[in-house]
């Protein structure tokens, strides 16, 4: 039996703090991260009739895309955050597809009963486990022998200005924040392919591999709009919250972010380079 993990901090963060903001920006974030989802689905080798488990499904874009690809199969999205799943269910109901459902649960501990999947996918949904080896060992119990795993995660920190730019500007305008452990649960916990390959191998997966990709994230927004978004989610927002910054300081940060983003703007849209790790493995 898998020991229950304490992912309560992540549940609190994604349910009460980040979740509602991501719901508000669901459409723009879906566009921004679509190339990552495309890479995850390509690596998953989805086929009609597959049964797919989508871990950390968020507002449902990945689950809906998988459900559309597998036809007569089924797709199950699981996430720890209720507000994100509420939006996912709304979108699924409007999709015209009837081969998907969503679970409000911690994937690291949820009892899937006798249900078994032959694909496990995740776009930015697996970097937050308190004990990743135990989490993936638990998830293996819900997979068919030979099931394929396909994960998308952020690569090395310096190669991802989507995070480093707002963090740098916020530090200069507002102030520094306490350093965090990048290996702790968070967006960059899966940045190191050797570490993640060891995690998946220890959890019982075979044929573990990582394809490090350079992907451009193309936003719907211009520099002004992206600066507003960065003050609402991510490192800049975290800095504002840490200092409980007043509105005039937020306005100064937004202006500085807009200026820093101009080099990434082309024809009124932001194009941000990113390093993305696409991990694949097989359930031994």
Q: Can you give the pLDDT at residue 172?
A: 98
Nearest to 177 by CA among 132, 136, 236, 125: 236
Buried b (16+ CB within 10 A) or exposed e, 255-267: ebbbebbeebbee
Q: Can you give the pLDDT at residue 22?
A: 82
Residue 139 has pLDDT above 80, yes or no: yes
Residue 10 has pLDDT above 70, yes or no: no
**Region 233-261: what's the mean pLDDT?**
97
> What is the separation, in whole angstroms, between the first and last Cα of the chain?
19
Alpha-carbon distances of 222 from 19, 23, 24, 163, rounded to whole Å: 23, 20, 18, 17
Residue 53 has pLDDT above 80, yes or no: yes
pLDDT one-digit tens code per residue, 141-159: 999 999 999 999 999 999 9
- Secondary-structure percent of the chain, ordered helix, strand, coil, rounded to 5: 45, 25, 30
Residue whose pair of structure tokens reads 């895309």 in the numeric block: 65
**Rounded CA gap, 193 and 210, in Å?**
6
**Region 28-57: what's the mean pLDDT?**
97
Quick one: what percent of the chain has pLDDT higher than 90?
90
Q: Can you give the pLDDT at residue 2?
A: 42
Looking at residue 2, what DSSP letter applies?
P
Strands 269-283 and 205-218: antiparallel
Quick one: what percent of the chain has pLDDT higher than 70?
93
pLDDT one-digit tens code per residue, 77-98: 999 999 999 999 999 999 999 9
Neighbours of 229 (CB within 10 A): 23
265, 223 Cβ separation under 8 angstroms: yes
**Rounded CA gap, 194 and 214, in Å?**
18
**Region 3-25: what's the mean pLDDT?**
66
Residue 65 has pLDDT above 90, yes or no: yes
Residue 1 has pLDDT above 50, yes or no: no
What are the residues facing 103 on neighbouring strands? 78
Q: Can you give the pLDDT at residue 202?
A: 98
In terms of C-beta density within 10 A (0-12 exposed, 13-18 middle, 19 or more buried), how is residue 206 classed?
A: exposed
pTM, to two decimals: 0.93
Mean residue pLDDT of the chain comes to 94
**Rounded CA gap, 50 and 52, in Å?**
6
Q: Can you give the pLDDT at residue 21?
A: 82
């Amino acid at each position: 039996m898998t020991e229950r993990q304490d992912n309560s901090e992540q549940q609190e963060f994604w349910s009460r703090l980040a979740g509602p903001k991501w719901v508000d920006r669901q459409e723009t974030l879906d566009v921004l991260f679509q190339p990552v989802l495309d890479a995850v689905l390509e690596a998953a080798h989805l086929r009609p009739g597959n049964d797919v488990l989508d871990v950390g499904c968020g507002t449902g874009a990945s689950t809906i895309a998988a459900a559309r690809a597998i036809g007569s199969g089924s797709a199950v999205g699981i996430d720890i955050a209720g507000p994100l799943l509420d939006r996912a269910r709304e979108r699924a109901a409007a999709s015209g597809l009837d081969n998907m459902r969503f679970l409000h649960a911690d994937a690291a501990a949820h009892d899937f009963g006798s249900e078994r999947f032959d694909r496990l996918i995740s776009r930015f949904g697996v970097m937050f486990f308190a004990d990743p080896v135990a989490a993936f060992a638990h998830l293996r119990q819900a997979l068919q022998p030979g099931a394929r795993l396909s994960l998308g995660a952020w690569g090395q920190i310096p190669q991802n200005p989507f995070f480093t730019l707002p963090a740098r500007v916020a530090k200069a305008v507002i102030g520094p924040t306490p350093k965090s452990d990048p290996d702790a649960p968070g967006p960059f916990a899966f940045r190191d392919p050797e570490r993640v390959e060891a995690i998946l191998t220890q959890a019982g997966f075979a044929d573990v591999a990582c394809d490090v990709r350079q992907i451009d994230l193309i936003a719907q927004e211009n520099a002004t709009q992206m600066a507003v978004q960065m003050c609402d989610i991510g490192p800049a927002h975290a800095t504002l919250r840490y200092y409980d910054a007043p509105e005039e300081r937020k306005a100064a940060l937004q202006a500085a972010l807009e200026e820093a983003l101009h080099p990434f703007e082309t024809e009124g849209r932001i194009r941000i380079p990113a390093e993305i790790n696409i991990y694949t493995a097989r359930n031994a």
